[in-house]
Structure formats: structure tokens, C-alpha cells
Chains A and B, each alone.
Chain A
């Protein structure tokens, strides 16, 4: 051996924290989800909690809502961010100001954004009152419900507002490292501007776009505070439902809460694996080549 320590030992403190806190919590949750709780006399592990959760219409409605929120916010954010990144790549007056605003948005906490969103678009909010004052609607209550609404429009709006800058910044960094010469080559080889984007720029941006979207999807699917603040009372987003069951005074509801948590974690893991499957080979292929 030379004087260099095995990286494993250098990583040990971080691994200890990660393993100690995260894995043990996950393990405990897993054990509970199998209905093993000696405190209340449950000593035979089984899958009854999963069966109950999966059979419950409330759970399925919440799962559907959470998937809808995650898919819609990710899809809309990705498309808007792609457009924003392509625009911000060009030089025009005011570009620095817009770039600054985009970055500043990242520093605003989600909760602060949620409060602002409620203030703006709820039925007692600024927009509703402005519409009423302008005579567009007869009463503020006629303003379309954008918060606590069944389609979670307020939640999706907030995620779009927060995540578009995030994806944009990742794409801008990607565009910068790719440079403009591949696109220029495509044009010179006879591609129209649209063809050059469709067949060269977009495929080269794909790894970055997928990575950023996977992060946004996993976050939007598993986040708790925004659905709590802006969501309707039924159905609740899955993390809200899980936390509510977990804090239920009836300890017998705990295994079901744990089962929900495990399902949320599994869906997050599936997203990650899907991303690794689709994006990694692309990134490897793209690495040299320039």
C-alpha cells in the first residue's frame, strides 16, 4: 500500500450517518408494514396491511392524485424549461436580468411559494378580487377553484413555478458544454432549424433533461408540505394520507401507514431505476464524441 487510505474508510462517517439514520428508519418502516408490532400484540408478520391499503378506495384515489401531480408538474415543467433554456442561450437585452430572476427563484422555499400562490389564486385571493372588481365575475367565490381543488391545479402551478428554473439551469449548463457547433454542423448538412433541434440538440440534451425530470418527479410525488397547504381534503396526496395515518391515535393504523410509506419509496426507487436504465447508456455514449 502507498500512503493513500482506502476510500472506503474516508467515506465511512458519511456511510454511517446514511446507514444509521436512513436505512434503519427504512428498515423499521418495512418491519412495521409487515404488521410486526409487539407493543400492541402483533407478533406474526403478514401482508395484511398491504392488502388493506391496496383495497382501500381512499388509498387508490390518493395514489392516483399523487401520480397525476407528479406527471403533470414534471411534464409541464420539462417542456417550459426546454423552451426557456433555448431562449436564454441566445444573447438579447435583459438576458442577465432574466437569468438572475431564474436563479433567485431557486432560493425561495416551497412553503413560502405555497403561501404566495394561495394569496394570489385562491377564491379569496388577489386574482379573484381583481376579477370581481373588474366585473368579470359577480362574486369572488365564482373564481375557478385553483387551490384545494380536485385537480390539484394550485399544487401543479406551484411545482411548475419552482421546478422550471431548476430544470432550465441544468439544461443551460448542458447546452453550454455541448456548444453550438453540433447544431451549426446539422444546419450546414441541410437540416432546417426545426430538424436540427429535433434530430441533434434535443437528443443531445436528453440525458440532462431525463435526470432533471426524474428528480422533479420523485420530489413532486413524495413531497408533503405543498399538498398539505394547497391540496383538497379529499382525495389527499399520498404523503399527506400516509402521515395522517401514521399520526392516528389508533396504533393499529400504523402498519397501513408504514405500507403506504414503503409504496411511496418503491415508486421513487422505480423512477430512479427507470432513469438509470434510459439515461445512463445515453450519457456514456455522449461522453467523448465531441
Chain B
């Protein structure tokens, strides 16, 4: 069931909640889309608008082509799982998982069968008679997921499903979400503030910055071809060279840089900011043909990688290299820098 959101707007006069402006969003049927944005960007508000827990000021929300805005939350076929598990403390685990089925008035035997099956699929077998207070954080989160999936919703909304878990539990939960989503093929919208999480979980990412959709596309596209400086910054971009593109060449403080063929026309002519991801920069010998000359300012060991800060005649760049390579470098040393054309991208000048 494809979810389509068009022109969704919600303001909170005098309120503390974030404002949503004219949001367009598509979640393809059976796929996972991540709604990504920093805290306070209005992600949870979008979730609640889709779930029917808030009413929008304007806009349209359709599921499989039919508008759901006029429906109360319980009739939308949309189930929202909040950031906290929010299990009902007075009910057992099995009663929590069976809650939605019981509200629909299903026969007890069917509820029991579906709950048992769901507990098994979420690795909760044997915990059915426990109380929520007797569960670990990871177990509680799995019960919350089971409680939603047992209803076979048309659309599943997950609000920061991993953020309340310990790092070690996150990988398990992430794998479980991916497995269950693949098995059930439920259309899923995940809200997260963590770009790594969005990249790992989602087929498509919708990036929400300050209440507006900043970019919407597959993770690698947002990663390599950010639509704006803000998007590039949010995705960990560190190298920004202001300048002007003219006839396939970018004029900047470090000299003319040839741009790759195939860049959209708007980016090959006019003022812009050249970006290159730190991991794409090649460090070579100073005499390497075509290399720019740089000096090493600092080198920081990050674990699996090392960050090398470079100075190119007053312009700072960052490169990520292997720690082995970084060990052979000394501060002040001269190096050649190659910017591979395929990794170059120009975003419009925000000014």
C-alpha cells in the first residue's frame, strides 16, 4: 500500500512542537522509507499526522490511493510504534500483543494463535505471561513491535525504534526489523535522527530539515549528490569550496578543478559550492602528476579510519584514510592531493 503525503502543513501557534511546511513524501508499497532529520525537525509530528493522532492544517494523506485524513486513528490501517515501548503496565506481554486484536473483537482462539506466532517471530516465546515491568529494554521494544505487526497493518510507523536501546541491542533490533519487514512486506516509515540508521534500514530517505523536505531519494544518492549545503552538512560532509562553475570547470581558491561530465546543467554554470566526501580524497606523493600540493595540519585516529586535516594554501580539507597509511605521516609534511572527478559534486550557493 503506497503512502502519499502531499502539501502536509501543521503549525502550532504558541506551542512547543515543530512546524511542518508543505511536506511531500512517498513511501512505496512494501518498502521502508526513513524520515530523517535532527531533533526538533518535526519528524514525530509527521508521524502523528499520518497516524491520525494530530489533525493537519492543510494537505492530503492517501494510502493505496484513498484519502485517510477523515478517518479516526483506529480505522486508518496505520499503526504507530512510539520511541518508548509504552507497553500497557496492567496487561501481560501476551495481552499487550493481543490488545489490538481484542479491540477488533476477534475470537479468543484466533487471538491466542496469532499472538503465539508473533511472540515466536519476535523471539519472545515463553515471556507471554510476564508483566512489562519484568522485561529488559530490548524485550519491551520487541513486544511493542510484535503488538503492532500482529495487526498486519497497511502502514507501519516506527518512531526512533533503536534510540532507546543500548548499542549492543541496536544491531539485533535493526536485524529483526529488517527480517520482519521482508517477511511481512509491510509498508514502513521509520523516523530517525541518525543518518547511519537511516542508510542501513531504508530503501529511500526523506530528509526533513526545519519542517521542510530537503531531499528525498535512495540513500546513496543523498550521500553522493546532496541537494543543498544543509543536506551535505547533515550527512557528514566536511569539505566545502565556494566558487563558480564555468564551462565544466570549477574556479575556486585552490585553482580550477575540472568537473565530471553528466552533472545537471544548473550545477555546471554559476556560483556554487564544490563538495567532496572526506573518504573520496586520495593522498599521493607530492610529485604525482596533476596532484594539488598540501601540508598536513593534523591526523586523528578514529578507530577504523584516521582523519587527516590538510592545508592547501589557506584552504582546509579533510580526508579519511586507513590508520596504517596515517601512521606514516608527520605534521607539516607535504603531500599530493587528488580529487577524483567522479566524487565531485556542486551544490547551489546558499547565499
Contact = CB atoms under 8 A, between A and B. Distances in A.
B53 interface: yes
B79 A188 contact: yes
A190 B87 contact: no
Contacts of A200: 88
A189 B133 contact: no
A189 B89 contact: no
A190 B103 CA distance: 6
Nearest to A283: B89
Given A285-B89, A285-B90, A185 B103 contact: no
B74 A185 contact: no
A189 B90 contact: no
B99 A189 contact: yes
Contact of B100 (A184, A189, A282): A189
B73 interface: yes
Contacts of A195: 103
Contact of B147 (A182, A189, A192): A189
Nearest to A188: B80
Contacts of B78: 188
Report, as a range, how many residues of chain A touch the other chain: 20 to 34
B234 interface: no
Given A187-B73, A188-B51, A188-B78, A290 B99 contact: no
B88 A190 contact: no
Contacts of A99: none
A44 interface: no
Contacts of B88: 182, 186, 199-200, 203-204
B84 A204 contact: no
Interface string B66-109: 00000011100011101010111110000000011001100000
Contacts of B79: 188-190
A190 B104 contact: yes
A191 interface: yes
B53 A186 contact: no
Chain A interface mostly helix, strand, loop or mixed? helix
Contacts of B52: 187-188
Contacts of A184: 48, 51, 53, 73, 80, 82
Nearest to B104: A190
A191 B48 CA distance: 16
B99 A186 contact: yes
Interface string A92-135: 00000000000000000000000000000000000000000000
A4 interface: no
B74 A190 contact: yes
B131 interface: yes
A290 B90 contact: no
A189 B86 contact: no
Interface in A61-110: none
B270 to A, nearest CB: 47
Contact of A204 (B74, B89, B148): B89
B320 interface: no
Interface string B117-155: 000000000000001110000000000000110010000
Interface of B: 48, 51-53, 72-74, 78-80, 82, 84, 86-90, 99-100, 103-104, 131-133, 147-148, 151
